[in-house]
Amino acid sequence: MTTLKQQISKVQSGEISSESLVQSALDRIGAAQHLKAYLSILPEYALEKARDLDKRRNAGEKLGPLAGTPIAVKDNIVISSGKTTCASRILENFESPYDAAVVERLIAAGAIPVGKTNLDEFAMGSTSETSAFGAPINPIDPTIIPGGSSGGSAVAVASGTVPLSLGSDTGGSIRQPAACCGIVGMKPTYGRVSRYGLVAYASSLDQIGPFARTVEDSALLLNTLCGHDLRDNTSSTQVVPDFTAKIGEGLKGKTIGIPKECFGEGLDKEVEATVRAALAACEREGAKIVEVTLPSLKYAVATYYVIATAEASANLARYDGVRYTIRTPAPKNLYELYAKTRSEGFGPEVKKRILLGTYVLSSGFYDAYYMQAQKVRRVITDDYAKAFTLCDVVAMPTLPAPPSKVGEVFQDPMAMYLQDIYTVAVNLAGLPGLSLPVGKAGGLPAGLQLIGRPFEETELFQISAGVEKLVAM
């Protein structure tokens, strides 16, 4: 089977054309429409980019590191072709006049966006079932969720329509779908990747990252995405290394920390057994396994849903029917224009989070909720920093149980929020995290989450690739 690196090399050498790769991807997308992974497809745009790439290569120009690679982009990341809907009725006709920073970087590297993928509305959810246009279907088992909010991006890769896709991760929205669909999903350190052109949900938590079938492919894509961007005030000026540099160096001499708080009450026994088996294999390979403690982890979900909803309330105030959203017909006055447009345009989960966020920011409650949550966020960050004095990475399950059945979490809304128990703290602390498949639990995919120190993605990829090699044996 041809690897992604081999395929890119063939495009660069002229052995195969970018146009043929893009056309094949478009054909696969057409054949997999029933999975609802894509909200829109960009055939004319993608084929034009591919033909241009082939012309440049034929003229002797050296092509970029992702030459000719078809890629899917989550539909909350803008592209100056087609629509960006965020899976919401309120933006169903919005067309962006510009490309997101990551899209600019992809095109410069020779990657070719072929479609925009389905998601939870405004990335609010962990099942992809809040999409206004119908939920994507997990290709492994149509009766289970594909995870969220980047469910469409995960399905696009897991179903083989594209080798790579982009998602965004605010509280686990890349790592959770990766675990549900049996692929690799990675959230970089906050600030590593520019958020310019990412439709904001919670600005201090959002981060764009890659989906891929392998750890190496994920690192290859991240190489392209990272770098300082003056248009994003939170964009890091850290030097961007080659994230693939240490892949293959193995696990010997590495220390993996296991938080005792993550292996107790609430964790499914089969998930625990699968994850522990992978960690035991790491130990046999020369890694050292140590116990660490994250005492503030129990407060992470509550803290996250205060901070994230507060920021969502502020960010989504711009969708008012005046500029680029749908507009309610024949409003009687300005108040009715605002109220009816938002009521008709937003779905129930988005409305719920806006209301909660507005409440925690309101007079009399700001100090009691929002400020307290920010203080707990600092404690969570400090707990991770202490853990990293004892280990190179922290390891835990990505999800506390096998993927839920479709529709199940809406019978108990708290169940959806508690799925985030292992992932949200990584966003609160701004750390890099990666989920990779390590086996089955109850016949369904189980993911291991590895969490690295800030800006230590190279080491995180090295250790993740070492684990991947063991579980594939």
Question: Which residues are CB-neighbours of 173 under 8 A, at least 6 positions away?
Answer: 120, 123, 126, 148, 149, 150, 167
Catalytic residue among 81, 149, 168, 296: 149
State whether residue 259 is helix, strand or coil: strand
CA-only gyration radius of the chain, Å: 21
What one-character DSSP code corresponds to residue 456?
A: -
- Model pLDDT for residues 13-40, shown as the tens digit of each residue: 999 999 999 999 999 999 999 999 999 9
Nearest partner of 395 among 451, 332, 445, judged by Cα: 451
Given the residues 74, 187, 246, 254, the one annotated as active site: 74
3-state helix, strand, coil in the chain (%, to 5): 45, 15, 40
Q: What is the structure's pLDDT at 473?
A: 57
| pLDDT for res 349 | 95
Q: Which of 173, 194, 435, 464 is catalytic?
A: 173
Our answer to whether residue 173 is catalytic in this structure is yes
Domain carrying residue 262: 1-473
What are 231-289's pLDDT values in tens digits? Answer: 999 999 999 999 999 999 999 999 999 999 999 888 999 999 999 999 999 999 999 99
User: 3-class secondary structure for 87-133?
Assistant: CCHHHCCCCCCCCCHHHHHHHHCCCEEEEEECCCHHHCCCCCCCCCC
Q: What is the DSSP string of 135-168?
A: ----SS-TTB---SSSHHHHHHHHTTS-SEEEEE
Summarize pLDDT for 70-128 with one digit per residue, the tens: 999 999 999 999 999 999 999 999 999 999 999 999 999 999 999 999 999 999 999 99
Closest to 382 measured CA to CA, from 291, 279, 255, 296: 296
* 153 labelled catalytic: no
Number of structural domains found in the chain? 1
* Catalytic residue list contains 352: no
Q: Which residues contact 296 (CB under 8 A, 6 or more apart)?
A: 376, 379, 380, 383, 425
| Two tokens, residue 468 | 């991947």
Give the domain CATH number at 32: 3.90.1300.10
The pLDDT score that the predictor gives to residue 265 is 85
